[in-house]
Amino acid sequence: MKKIILTGDRPSGRLHLGHYIGSLANRVRLQNEYDQYILIADVQALTDNYENPEKVANSVRELVLDYIAVGIDPGKSTIVVQSQLPAIAELTVFYLNMVSLNRVLRNPTVKVEIEQKGFGDTIPAGFAMYPVSQAADITAFEANLVPVGEDQLPMIEQTREIVRKFNNLYGQTLVEPEALMGKFPRLIGLDGKAKMSKSLNNSIYLSDSVEEVNKKVGSMYTDPTRLKPTDLGHIEENPVFIYHDAFNPNKEEVEDLKRRYQEGKVGDVEVKQKLAVAINNLLEPMRKRRVELEKNPAEIDRILKDGIEKGREISGEVLKKVKKAMKIDYQF
């Protein structure tokens, strides 16, 4: 059986619809086909939250709640916490020698996040190097496949580069992963200006209530050229219709709304109301599963403890292989 690990979930806040459509839906589907490992990347979260580690620590269990809510089965998927696996830290140190500073800073994902966070000339070294840490995450489990959003593709490519360089230097040791993107690899935010992001406050979260979803959908950006319902509307690059395509399973309804919108026969209110219904229908089973698990904090602890134990064993074996290949598996 192939293995799969999913990176990119840093415990610094709640998961949103962008996470769901970008990779979480794939995780639920693929857990029946692969030996799946889901990494809570708390060390990477500290790269831009080092002054507030409590935020990271408090978000670990929230991530577990989100995972179980969307349909992740801890009996099929192993949830691990990055900081509790010493092998990942060691692998990161070894890989850092194989990547130049300029190469890391040219990584498109890193460049965008540095700009968004306004680091300027004060970029924490740990933040700049987190693509190397992600390479350690992935290779520590010998992952064949990594479901990601479009913005994370440069991270997977950097991992592949590190793997190839290591194997060329020391012999075939590490597994080179492939990226898997969802049908909607990048979900635009509610404001229509950028991808959905916690930091940009343009998100619908998986734990949002019915009222919160209704309010957020009602405030969504639509066609700026349309001043009244009888004006001919544009559906291309219109966030409301992008969301209908992504989350409304009633395709006949979606096509009818598109046709009437373009003909000036339906207003934004009706289009948004039907979108809110579709999103709430998607989230309702998640809300119920979340509430059930919230009643049992001991179960969350068990899931994490079991995952960490298994993760230590597997990543430890990979570290032994790496040290042997590098001829630093000393026997004193």
Judge if 247 and 121 occupy the same domain: no
15 and 88 within one domain: yes
CA 154 to chain centre: 14
Residue 50 pLDDT greater than 90, yes or no: no
To the nearest whole percent, how much of the chain has pLDDT over 70? 97
Q: In this structure, is residue 84 part of a structural domain?
A: yes
Instruction: Name every residue whose Cβ is closer than 8 Å to that of residue 313 and which is 6 or more positions away in sequence.
Output: none
Q: Does residue 39 lie in a domain region?
A: yes
Which residues lie closer than 8 Å to 196 by C-beta, 6 or more apart? 16, 17, 18, 187, 188, 189, 190, 202, 203, 204
Whether residue 21 is found in the same domain as residue 169 = yes
pLDDT for residue 113:
82
Give yes or no for a contact between 135 and 156, defined as CB atoms under 8 angstroms apart.
Answer: no
Q: Which amino acid is at 330?
A: Y
Residue 107 confidence class, pLDDT cut points 50, 70, 90: confident
293 Ramachandran zone, left/alpha/beta (phi>0; psi -120 to 50): alpha
For residue 181, is it within any domain? yes
List pLDDT tens digits, range 288-327. Answer: 999 999 999 999 999 999 999 999 999 999 999 999 999 9
pLDDT at residue 198 above 90? no
Q: Are residues 146 and 233 in the same domain?
A: no
User: Quick one: 284 and 304 in the same domain?
Assistant: no
> Considering the chain, what is the average pLDDT of its residues?
91
Assign 46 to helix, strand or coil.
coil
d(CA 229, CA 196): 27
Where is average pLDDT lowest: 103-107, 272-276, 297-301?
A: 103-107
Whether 46 is covered by a domain: the verdict is yes
Q: Does residue 168 share a domain with residue 48?
A: yes
Report residue 195's pLDDT band, with 50, 70 and 90 as the boundaries: confident
Do the beta carbons of residue 169 and residue 49 sit within 8 Å?
A: no
Indicate the pLDDT class of residue 5, thresholds 50, 70 and 90.
confident
Residues 153 and 22 both lie in one domain: yes
Residues 183 and 218 in one domain: no
Q: What is the CATH number of the domain that holds 237?
A: 1.10.240.10
Q: Which two tokens stand for residue 72?
A: 């992740």
Q: How many CB atoms lie within 10 A of CB 43?
A: 23
Query: 100 burial class (0-12, 13-18, 19+ CB within 10 angstroms)?
Result: exposed
Residue 47 within a domain? yes
Domain of 74 in residue numbering reads as: 3-188+297-325
- Residues 266, 123 share a domain: no
- Our count of domains for the chain comes to 2
